[in-house]
Structure 1
Amino acid sequence: MLFRVDPASPQPLGDQIAASVRGAIAEGTVPPGERLPSARSLADSLGVNLHTVLRGYQRLREEGLIELRRGRGAVVVDDAGARRRAALMQQVRELVRQSRELGLTEEEVVGLVRRGLA
């Protein structure tokens, strides 16, 4: 799996790392059960701080896309819905990006989503 970060981007590096993994899961190029690189080795290869990688991995864990296991590292969840969740999360991130560009408040975005659920 290829990780890329752009230090000039306004998006935090940890979010960029999470987006790389999320995209690979959504595309199916990283299968369930696959181990991700250790945070230390990934930080070294990208030239970023270890905690930056850990923040990205933590975000993916919160999204239910990876498990963090002591001694085993980060592993893509072995779950049939992980790929669909990753794709949905990409769409959510895009919604948030577009909402910010339009200057919408958090309350306005939540209101739009609630109306969409009705």
Structure 2
Amino acid sequence: MLLTIDPAAPEPLFEQLAAQLRAAIAAGTLSAGDRLAPARDVAASLDINLHTVLRAYQELRDEGLVELRRGRGATVAARADDAGLRDAGLRAAIDTLVAESRRLGLDPRTTTALVKEALR
């Protein structure tokens, strides 16, 4: 799985990584039991601090999507499949939102900001 970051984006780097992994779990690209790349490898490939990657992994752990085990690395949690991320209705609503955002010519950051505001 290819992870990318945008140092110029307003979102912190750890949040960018966590969001990409969340999306991969929601899309089924990553499933329960799949091992995530070692944090050191991700940090080296993206040329960022190891603690940035660890913070992203810890955020996902706190959400119940990832299990962290010393010496065994990070794996997608079994309950990630049951976390409601694959709800077909929600996915359809998101697809509709994205399509409408593109139709209106909104910048993805604007759409993201609007969604974050709505979730508060």
What are structure 1's unaligned runs of at least 5 residues? 110-118
Secondary structure in 2 matching 1:59:
helix
- 8 Å Cα contact 1:65/1:85 also seen in 2: no
Percent identity (aligned): 52
Secondary structure class of the residue paired with 1:68 = strand
Match of 2:54? 54
Quick one: distance in 2 between partners of 1:95 and 1:86?
A: 21
* Aligned-pair CA distance for 1:85: 3.9
Look up the match of 1:15: 15
TM-score (norm 1): 0.72
Structure with the bigger RCO (C-alpha within 8 Å, sep 6+) is 1
| Partner SS, residue 55 of structure 2 | helix
Could you say which residue in structure 2 is the equivalent of 1:74? 74
The CA RMSD over aligned residues, in Å, is 2.8
Which aligned segments of 4 or more residues in structure 1 are displaced greater than 2 angstroms? 84-88, 94-97
Instruction: Report the AA paired with residue 58 of structure 1.
Output: Q
Supply the distance in 2 between the matched residues of 1:38 and 1:99 (Cα, whole angstroms).
Answer: 31
For 1:75, what is the secondary structure of its paired residue? strand
